[in-house]
Amino acid sequence: MIAVDTSVWIDFFRGRTPVVEKLAALLDRDQVTLPVPVKIEILSGARKPEGPRLRRLLSALPVLYPTDDLWRRMEMTAGSAAGQRFGVGDLLIAALAVEHGCTLWSLDCDFARMARLGMVTLAEM
């Protein structure tokens, strides 16, 4: 399964061809999961008239929710990323992917830095 980051969804909704084709293929094969922070980012960034339609579309995907254990592990590892700094939302998205055994597809360079530190495995798209 592939956890898909907000950056990919933005390109998908904007109709950017390479992303549309790749994500559509993954969706057709039921290989996409949605970390809850990504779902919230998408819904909060949508224009009001698009909200109900987006909510219905996204409800078809399995959503990754954090467990209490995940929050505790994030707290214990806070500040131990080899001098790198990451936003809590991005750390949560990466941790959710790892916890659920997913690779992460993102166009955000922060996740590439996390991957170099062994914090997440990126999908090769």
Q: Which residues of 23-37 are buried (b: 16+ CB within 10 A; e: fewer)?
A: beebeeeeebbbbeb
pLDDT at 85: 84
**CATH code for the domain in which residue 37 is found:** 3.40.50.1010
Counted domains in the chain:
1
What span, in angstroms and rounded, lies between the C-alpha atoms of 111 and 8?
Answer: 12
Is 125 within a domain? no
Helix (H) or strand (E) holding 33: strand 32-35
Q: Which amino acid is at 3?
A: A
Please write the tens of the pLDDT for every residue from 1-42: 999 999 999 999 999 999 999 999 999 999 999 999 999 999
The pTM for the full model equals 0.91
The helix or strand, by DSSP H or E, that contains position 87, with its residue range, turns out to be none
Domain of 24, in residue numbers:
2-116
